[in-house]
Amino acid sequence: MFTAKSQVDDRIEGLESGADAYLTKPTQPRELFAQVKAILKRTPKREVVVQAPAPPPPSGKIFGVLAAKGGIGVSTMATNLAVTLHKKTKENVILSDFRPGQGTIGLDLGFRNPSGMLGLLENNKAVSLEDVRGNLLPHKSGVMTFLSSHEPEDAKHFGEADKFLTITKHLR
């Protein structure tokens, strides 16, 4: 304890409270260092066991393909990027279309009624990893897809920011 209280009763109270030493102000730095060294010598060395934190669950990288003007060619670019990444890396790749009401990737790939995204956006419950997995569609290229509807009325779901974020985390 390092304090300005220098009365005998203060010292006794400090030591009885569990202080290893009792120094009063003012003191010389050499005395302070000597007291600290003495305390450290008296303290039994403890073996510190550091447990490594559990590794995070495996996750992937997310690439976004955006366009400044109208999106002409963006779906094709995203599709080609996904297929190329899958073929070059032999890793799992998920191609997703985050434009409900304007989803064209599913149509381009031959899916007649892609609605994986829509089903989760319309549902009133929280989106789970299992929900996302259950809506993945395999494509013959080896890429998995998670697609939006192309029906214009489905654009009303653009405001579901929290669900989009949750879906993105699960896709990762």
Q: 80 and 21 in one domain?
A: no
Half-sphere exposure of 7 (CA within 13 A, CB side): 3
Q: Are residues 37 and 83 in the same domain?
A: no
Residue 132's φ and ψ, nearest 5 degrees, are -65, -45
Q: Exposed (0-12), middle (13-18) or buried (19+): which is 161, by Cβ within 10 Å?
A: exposed
Per-residue pLDDT tens over the stretch 55-89: 666 678 888 887 766 666 788 888 999 999 999 99
Do residues 21 and 85 both lie within one domain?
no
Residue 147 forms part of a structural domain: yes
Residue 58 lies in a domain: no
Q: Structural domain tally of the chain?
A: 2
On whether residue 59 sits in a domain, the answer given is: no
Q: What is the pLDDT of residues 138-151, one digit of tens each?
A: 999 999 999 988 88
pTM given for the model: 0.63
Write out the chain's pLDDT in tens, 172 residues: 878 888 999 888 888 888 888 888 887 878 877 887 888 788 777 666 677 776 666 678 888 887 766 666 788 888 999 999 999 999 899 999 888 888 888 888 988 877 788 888 888 888 999 999 999 999 999 999 999 888 888 888 888 888 889 998 998 8
Q: Are residues 87 and 152 in the same domain?
A: yes
Whether residue 144 sits in one domain with residue 79: yes
Q: Domain range spanning residue 88?
A: 74-171
Q: Would you state the pLDDT for residue 68?
A: 65
Same domain, 111 and 167: yes
Same-domain pairing of 7 and 88: no
Same domain, 38 and 78: no
Neighbours of 147 (CB within 10 A): 28
Q: Clarify whether residues 103 and 166 are in a common domain.
A: yes
Residues 78 and 159 in one domain: yes
Domain-located, residue 65: no
Q: Are residues 96 and 143 in the same domain?
A: yes
